[in-house]
Amino acid sequence: MEAVDCVVVGAGVVGIAVARALAGAGREVLVLEAAEGIGTGASSRNSEVIHAGIYYPTGSLRARHSTRGRRLLYAFCASHGVAHNKCGKLIVATDRAELAKVETLLAQGLKNGVEGLEMIGGNAARALEAELSCICALSSPESGIVDSHGYMRALWGELEDNGGSIAFETPVERLAYVSGQWRVAFGGRDAGSATFDAVVNSAGLGAQALARRIDGYPAAKVPPLVLAKGNYFAFAGRPVFSRLIYPTPVDGGLGVHVTLDLAGRMRFGPDVEWIDHESYTVDPRRADSFYQRIRAYWPGLPDGSLVPDYCGIRPKLTGPGQTAADFMIAAEPAHGMPRLVNLFGIESPGLTSSLSLAEDVVDYLVA
């Protein structure tokens, strides 16, 4: 491998968005990916929801990147022919305690500058979605869904148009800053090493492990990794909702919600299952709690209609009962190593935020 300007580790949606932005800024870019294709991690195991930016504390990276990223993403989808649907979303309150939570979310969303938010009564919500049971709902017309693979393919295409490329089956094993350059050792079929000017660690669940293999990287600057699995169940029947339907959030997640794909099919999830090692099987016994939670807002959910589907793992930095951590973008000011950006804790809404996160990473690396 010849010397290339920038290396991005990980070809998930964030890594590819960063690589495309660096290539667009005139850098030579190579993405090194352990798997055999793009987006095999969290990027293909999520709800494919374009979040409006309601939930996150004002001023946090999650608030800033989801609102800005959402606007950038809709514009990108429109200009690049990526399938998407700004179908809107209802966050429902089914009792008075939840009403207070939904009101708090409305205030938070307005503070975050989310457009079009509106509180509607139970009857108005049922006029939109006849099967819904709730006393009121927060309507978010800016929320939507996207074909995440179509989106990643479009990013990859632009990366290549600007001279960048992705090397698959190339796990990065070690990084060292030697004589003003980054020496990157990688395994796989064509194992070897190469030098780069700048490094972006966008390895998702592997980001902390990789940071620990950077020679001289301060161990205290590697945050904990907490795995929060999210399981999905598909609905075996005719879809009854045309918008995203969310309950109020729970510890570690946004609650078991109705998600739709672009063909209009319904599925439910993700729940929150704290785990200590990566595993991608969905336990069918979790269906019981799904029926119970979904029937709070959709009493008509038929028995036997939920089928175990897929799951994803959120790379969280905090565990159960703790205040949810923000995204962490660790560049030179955070750790003291030149032209190195580590992306930690890029869980939801990372898909929505990807274009905005990419802009920030470019700002750190391109003077």
**Contact with ligand FAD (CB under 6 A) among 20, 27, 51, 243:** 51
Q: Read off the amino acid at residue 15.
A: G
CB of 208 to ligand FAD, least distance (A): 10
CB of 230 to ligand FAD, least distance (A): 3
Q: How far is CA 35 from CA 22, 150, 168, 206, in A?
A: 22, 18, 6, 12
Q: Is 41 in the site for ligand FAD (CB under 6 A)?
A: yes
Interaction with ligand FAD in 162-181: which residues (CB under 6 A)? 171-172
Q: Is 68 in the site for ligand FAD (CB under 6 A)?
A: no
**Contact with ligand FAD (CB under 6 A) among 7, 8, 21, 42:** 42
Q: Is 270 in the site for ligand FAD (CB under 6 A)?
A: yes
CB of 118 to ligand FAD, least distance (A): 22
Contact 87, 244 (CB under 8 A): yes
Residue nearest to ligand FAD (CB): 350
Q: Is 46 in the site for ligand FAD (CB under 6 A)?
A: yes
Q: Is 222 in the site for ligand FAD (CB under 6 A)?
A: no
Q: Which is nearer to ligand FAD, 102 or 282 (CB)?
A: 282
Q: Is 244 in the site for ligand FAD (CB under 6 A)?
A: no
Q: Is 31 in the site for ligand FAD (CB under 6 A)?
A: no
Q: Which is nearer to ligand FAD, 136 or 294 (CB)?
A: 294
Per-residue contact string for residues 309-338; x = within reach of ligand FAD by CB under 6 A: ---xxx------------------------
Contact 361, 333 (CB under 8 A): no
Distance CA 102, CA 249 (A): 9
Residue 134 bridge partners (DSSP):
none
Q: Is 245 in the site for ligand FAD (CB under 6 A)?
A: no
Q: Is 82 in the site for ligand FAD (CB under 6 A)?
A: no
Q: Is 306 in the site for ligand FAD (CB under 6 A)?
A: no
Q: How many helices (H) and strands (E) does the chain have?
A: 9, 20
φ, ψ (nearest 5 deg) of residue 53: 110, 30
Distance CA 308, CA 272 (A): 15
Q: Is 140 in the site for ligand FAD (CB under 6 A)?
A: no
Q: Is 35 in the site for ligand FAD (CB under 6 A)?
A: yes
- 3-class state of residue 307 by DSSP: strand
Q: Which is nearer to ligand FAD, 164 or 206 (CB)?
A: 206
Interaction with ligand FAD in 333-362: which residues (CB under 6 A)? 346-352
Distance CA 236, CA 307 (A): 7
Q: How far is CA 352 from CA 48, 146, 253, 256, in A?
A: 9, 9, 16, 19
Residue 313 bridge partners (DSSP):
229
Residue 120 bridge partners (DSSP):
137
Distance CA 145, CA 260 (A): 7
Tell me the window of 44-52, 82-90, 133-141, 282-290 that interacts with ligand FAD (CB under 6 A): 44-52
Q: Is 144 in the site for ligand FAD (CB under 6 A)?
A: no
**Contact with ligand FAD (CB under 6 A) among 67, 108, 112, 202:** 202
Distance CA 4, CA 350 (A): 27
Distance CA 196, CA 185 (A): 11
φ, ψ (nearest 5 deg) of residue 111: -60, -35
Q: Is 206 in the site for ligand FAD (CB under 6 A)?
A: yes
List the one residue out of 27, 297, 12 whose CA is nearest residue 156: 12
Distance CA 315, CA 214 (A): 20
Distance CA 306, CA 288 (A): 10
CB of 81 to ligand FAD, least distance (A): 20
**Contact with ligand FAD (CB under 6 A) among 9, 77, 245, 362:** 9
Residues in touch with ligand FAD (CB under 6 A) = 9-15, 32-35, 39-43, 45-49, 51, 171-172, 202-206, 210, 230, 270, 312-314, 346-352
